[in-house]
Chains A and B, each alone.
Chain A
Amino acid sequence: MAKPAEVSVESPALDSERPPKSGMPAGVTGAATWADDRLGLASLLKKNLRKIFPDHWSFLLGEIALYSFVVLLLTGVFLTIWFKPSMAEIEYEGSYQLMRGLPMSEAFASTLALSFDIRGGLLVRQIHHWAAMLFLASMTVHMLRIFFTGAFRKPRELNWLIGVGLLGISLIEGFAGYSLPDDLLSGTGLRFVDGLIRSIPLIGTWAEFFIFAGEFPGSLVVARLYMVHILLVPAVLLGLIAAHLTLVVYHKHTQYPGAGRKDGNVVGYPLFPVYMAKAGGFFFVVFGVSILMGATMQINPVWNFGPYNPAQVTAGSQPDWYMGFVEGAIRIMPNWEWHLGSTTWSWNVFLPGMGLLTGLFVLLGAWPFVERWITGDDAEHHVLDRPRNNPTRTGLGVAGITCYAMFWLSGGNDILATQFRLSLNAVTEFMRVAVFLAPVVAFIVTKRICISLQRADHERVLHGSETGIIERSPDGGYSEPHRPIHTDEKFMLTQHAQGKVAEVTPATDGNGVLEKGAGVSKTRALASRWYHAGVIDKPTADEIAEADHHANGHADGHDGDHQVTESETSGQISR
């Protein structure tokens, strides 16, 4: 967010004219009065109609998730008009010549009908699938934005939890939808889930028999997943989304740091008319892009896979991208299994499957509370962190992404092996190590980068920006003068709170009486030291005043001894 050191002041200062303010048009007044007489909306809307939202591209990520959900609802309704969620076997008599006379389930036959016999059916199917991809992708990236900017901090911890819940059940929603067409690929996915469920210690077999109504594949699982996909999970999603948005409105949106932005205000544009047009328009943008994707990018061509056949599978079978990390974990897991008495404990499937999913969501859900415990920070935060100003959190986030990426890549270990002509076994064994080692490297590298960026900020505040002009002094020395940066930027670079290491203090007051909530335990002090290690102190007011004085002296040219040289501006920060 670097800004130019100076902005041209010679902008054409023409007078702008605005139309005189008028009240509501006559027609609207009548309707509005009629509605208000019955609903009393004016008292509710007078405050919220002009509610302020801040502007930033990264705030659109959550909007993409919301709008692709609406696209999913709309296209999903269309698909239900023809789709038959039945595993009953029929002989295909539709218009796709290559499969005529083939026995298949009604679910698969109706998916073929949607693809070949219903005009626009294939388009809507593809929009639906692309929107699902977009939904999960935007949710994931939205969550990363929230994480890296610290938007989950007080008072938004509950909304973070709702978001984690939304992401979790959206994975289930996506998987349930993926399984419905009953083609070879989705049937293979279900077979995999059957193995996953079976692996749960103690109750696995019971869960399998209850979900599949007996043995795999049974006769009911498609109908049950259909209920889950179009009724149960969407209802829960709708409820959680409503709660998520209500809390956003109640807390008011967070904002990035900048001049005039503080925890006590929100700076931006009003809902009516700016955000109604921008956000409303953005819905159509997301919808339009989904349609264009559905029109031009083929997805899930089930007619190429054929109906589900439990004796067939193709090489390169993979789930949709969002389940790729589980698939990868399953692939690289060593084959640990216990055989105790007459029982089998299938750790090779349970740990990377149910274990990894549970672990991921527990970690995500716990993080705001863990961070708060480490920092002991009880203040409300509405101005976002710049990721560099919280190097440990940012490092952990990148480590998490790296770990996820390693698992995800492992989900394509066969593709990696064939595309890059590597040994499949070598790729797998490499990944077994990489999922643990790569995140550690990523953490260290990210933390160092953050600290370097903090140093650069420090220097920019004190010494200004490089002018790009090289000056030669009479005695032959070369130097590059720096120009002070704008106060707005100086404020932005120094407004963050300086993290402080918590020292061990007893939880008792002066008289030895235990005080609730007071005191810092040894563990917490240790965690705090680790968390704040290496962080660069921001410049103090005195240092800034001193540097300003210094820079002015130089600019006036009176102070020849104090040329700001390269050697002086760099390497001064460490102490």
Chain B
Amino acid sequence: MSIEISKPGTDLERHPVPDPGLEEHIERWTDVDKEAGDRAYRQVLLMLGAVPVLAIAFVVIYFAVDRTSVVHIFGLEWDALTFWLGMTGGLATLLIGLACVHWAKTMMGDEEIAEDRHSAASSAEDRALFAKEFAKGAEQSGLGRRKLIGGALGGALGLIAVPAVVLFADMGPWPTAEMRKKTIERTIWAEGVKLVNDVTRRALKASDLEIGQLVNAQPESLWEHHGTEFQIEKAKASIIIVRMDPDRIKIPDSRKDWQVGGILCYSKICTHVGCPISLWEQQTHHLLCPCHQSTFDLSNSGLVVFGPAARALPQLPITVDADGYLVARSDFTVPVGPSFFERDSSGDFKEGDR
């Protein structure tokens, strides 16, 4: 309840060495030696005196130094304005602080003072007084006799929170089954959509790809979308196209016609937390996510071989159109990207599937 106090020398078990009391005050050099004291005084004045000089330098630099100029310091190239404004402003600020601390440490009184501490708790009288006052108030409120008011008020206060919470129901569209089908469970890939290089936007032919090559691609229809719409679609539709030697990879029966002569197409969005995967190990046919190092085997339907991802990379069924361009045969057969609770993951490719 209260602070443990034992008088010096009375409780030898608690304090085998009795408290000797505060240490003797030893005077500082700056107190006993006038010269040392004066030196500290001058140091403080010097530090504070440098501040206006640095402040003026700051203003001059702000207006005089060209925004594009650079300085070379320690073999590194610095933006001159950032560097000099920071050096002058920073030093000026630092010197104010150092001057104050130096003043306090060398010149202000340094005798230690002991102040009594009181228990954090109120005194027994205060508690009794409070209880009495509380009882008076409680009596006046009439809650003792008309108990229902308390419950009713509590209920009312609790329920008034409901409208406040409901007010936020429009923060986003509700991910109902129907909404999910229109959003996170589909991409803009569809039958006949051309696969185009994501930088040049050129449609790709099977002959454009050599064995071992990886191309980052997008659906040709992506650029029909603009602004945030574009970003949303790109975050799902991004793909990678790889060409591997058909004799060195496993193509399950169900996916025989998803590829064109060893050209396979996978979602670029990691099934872990959605980073765009891009590190391609040509010899092992492994694709590594640079964010969390999940590794997928593209020669085996995108199965996870290492890392925290739990599901195979979704594969996009592709074929060639009449002009020889690579096109999608449909949308992805499963939702791309990271897992979500309502995701039906029974359609994903698993080890041993045919």
Q: Which residues from chain A sit less than 8 Å from chain B, CB to CB?
A: 11-12, 14, 16, 51-52, 87-89, 116-117, 119-120, 122-123, 126-127, 155, 188, 191-192, 194-196, 198-206, 208-219, 250-252, 258-260, 262-270, 273-275, 277-278, 280-292, 294-296, 308-317, 327, 330-337, 339, 342-346, 348-349, 352, 378-380, 382, 413-414, 424-425, 428, 461, 487-488, 490-491, 493-495, 497, 538-541, 543-544
A295–B87 touching, CB < 8 Å: yes
**Which residue on chain B has the smallest CB distance to residue A187?**
B231
Interface-central residue, A16, A252, A487, A493, by most chain B CB under 10 Å = A16
Stretch at the interface among B20-28, B124-132, B155-163, B325-333: B20-28
Whether B115 pairs with A52 at a CB distance below 8 angstroms is yes
The interface residues of chain A lying within 8 Å CB-to-CB of B171 are: 210-211, 213
Interface 1/0 per residue, B5-24 and A, CB below 8 Å:
10000001111111111110
A379 to B93 CA separation, bound complex (whole angstroms): 44
Inter-chain contact B172/A211, CB cutoff 8 Å: yes
Query: Which of the residues B16, B90, B272, B293 comes within 8 Å of A348, measured between beta carbons?
Result: B272
Can you list 24 A-B contacts (CB < 8 A)?
A122-B81, A155-B119, A198-B338, A205-B180, A213-B172, A214-B173, A218-B228, A219-B227, A267-B113, A278-B100, A280-B100, A282-B101, A288-B97, A292-B86, A292-B87, A315-B290, A331-B292, A335-B308, A346-B338, A348-B272, A382-B3, A428-B307, A541-B16, A544-B17
Interface size class of B (residues with CB under 8 A): 35 or more
CB-CB < 8 A to A345: which residues of B?
341
B120, B180, B338: the one within 8 Å of A349 (CB) = B338
Determine the distance from Cα of A211 to Cα of B234 in the docked complex, in whole angstroms: 20
Cβ of B146 within 8 Å of any chain A Cβ, yes or no, is no
A57 to chain B, nearest CB (A): 12
Q: A273-B108, A490-B17 are in contact. Are A334 and B23 (CB under 8 A)?
A: no
Which of A11, A16, A346: most chain B CB closer than 10 A? A346
Q: How far is the CB of B32 from chain A (nearest CB, A)?
A: 5
- B2–A123 touching, CB < 8 Å: no
**Complex Cα–Cα for A575 and B86 (A):** 62
Bound complex: CA of A266 vs CA of B117, how far in Å?
Answer: 7
Contact B5 A336 (CB under 8 A): no
* Residue B109, interface by CB 8 Å: yes
Q: Which single residue of chain A is at the shortest CB-CB distance from B341?
A: A204
Give A312 to B234 CA distance when docked, in angstroms.
10
Residues in chain A near residue B343, CB distance under 8 A = 342-344
Contact status B104-A200, CB under 8 Å: no
- Interface stretch, picked from B134-142, B206-214, B273-281, is B273-281
CA distance A289 to B89 in the complex (A): 10
| A19 CB, nearest partner CB in chain B, Å | 11
**The 10 residue pairs across chains A and B that have the minimum distance between CB atoms:** A295-B86, A288-B94, A281-B100, A195-B273, A284-B97, A291-B90, A337-B310, A260-B22, A285-B97, A310-B235
Where the two chains meet, the residues of B that have a C-beta atom closer than 8 Å to any C-beta of A are 1-5, 12-23, 26-27, 31-33, 62, 67, 78-79, 81-83, 85-87, 89-101, 103-105, 108-110, 112-117, 119-121, 168, 171-175, 179-180, 183-184, 198, 216, 218, 226-228, 230-232, 234-236, 238, 268, 272-276, 278-279, 290-294, 304, 306-311, 337-346
How many pairs, one residue from A and one from B, have CB atoms within 8 Å of each other in the complex? 376
Residue from B17, B103, B110, B275 in contact with A269 in the complex, judged by beta carbons closer than 8 Å: B110
Contact of B23 among A218, A250, A488 (CB under 8 A): A488
- Contact partners of B17 in chain A: CB under 8 A: 461, 487, 490-491, 493-495, 541, 544
B86 touches A294 (CB 8 A): yes
Within 8 Å by CB of A252, from B82, B83, B86, B117, lies B117
Q: Shortest beta-carbon distance, B337 to chain A, in Å?
A: 8
> Which residues of the other chain, A, contact B276 by a CB distance below 8 angstroms?
310-313
A310 touches B345 (CB 8 A): no
Question: Do residues B82 and A122 form an inter-chain contact, with CB atoms below 8 A?
Answer: yes
**In the complex, which residues of chain B have a beta carbon less than 8 angstroms from the beta carbon of A202?**
341
Q: Decide if A316 touches B16 in the complex (CB within 8 Å).
A: no
CB-defined contacts of A126 to chain B, threshold 8 Å: 82
Q: Which residue of B lies closest to A540 (CB)?
A: B16
Q: Smallest distance from the beta carbon of A226 to chain B beta carbons, Å?
A: 15
Name the residue of chain B whose CB is nearest to the CB of A258: B23
Q: A252 to B90, alpha carbons, bound, how many Å?
A: 33
A488 & B20 in contact (Cβ 8 Å cutoff): yes
Chain A residues in 8 Å Cβ range of B227: 88-89, 219
Report the minimal beta-carbon distance from A462 to chain B, rounded to whole angstroms.
Answer: 11
Q: By the criterion CB–CB under 8 Å, are B309 and A269 in contact?
A: no
Q: Which residues of A contact B89 (CB under 8 A)?
A: 123, 291, 295
Bound together, the chains give a CA A292 to CA B101 distance in angstroms of: 19
Asked if residues B96 and A281 are in contact (CB atoms below 8 Å), the reply is yes
Q: Which residue of B lies closest to A289 (CB)?
A: B94
Contact indicator B5/A206 (Cβ below 8 Å): no
B23 touches A260 (CB 8 A): yes
Residues of B within 8 A of A11 (CB): 26-27
- Pick the contact of B90 from A206, A295, A346 — CB < 8 Å? A295
Best-buried of B108, B171, B231 by chain A (most CB within 10 Å): B231
Contacts of A214 in B (CB 8 A): 172-173, 183, 232
Q: Is there an interface contact between A260 and B2, defined as CB atoms closer than 8 Å?
A: no
Which chain A positions have C-beta within 8 A of B26? 11
Q: A461: shortest Cβ distance to chain B, in Å? A: 8
Q: Which residues in A have their C-beta under 8 angstroms from that of B86?
A: 123, 127, 291-292, 294-296
Q: How far is the CA of A69 from the CA of B309 in the complex (A)?
A: 38
Q: A379 to B308, Cβ gap below 8 A?
A: no
Contacts of B306 on A, CB cut-off 8 Å? 425, 428
Instruction: Point out the residues of chain A lying under 8 angstroms from B174, CB to CB.
Output: 206, 209
A193 smallest CB distance to B (angstroms): 8
Minimal beta-carbon separation of B282 from chain A (angstroms): 16
- Rounded to whole Å, the gap between the CB of A145 and the closest CB of chain B is 20
Q: Are A217 and B112 in contact (CB under 8 A)?
A: no
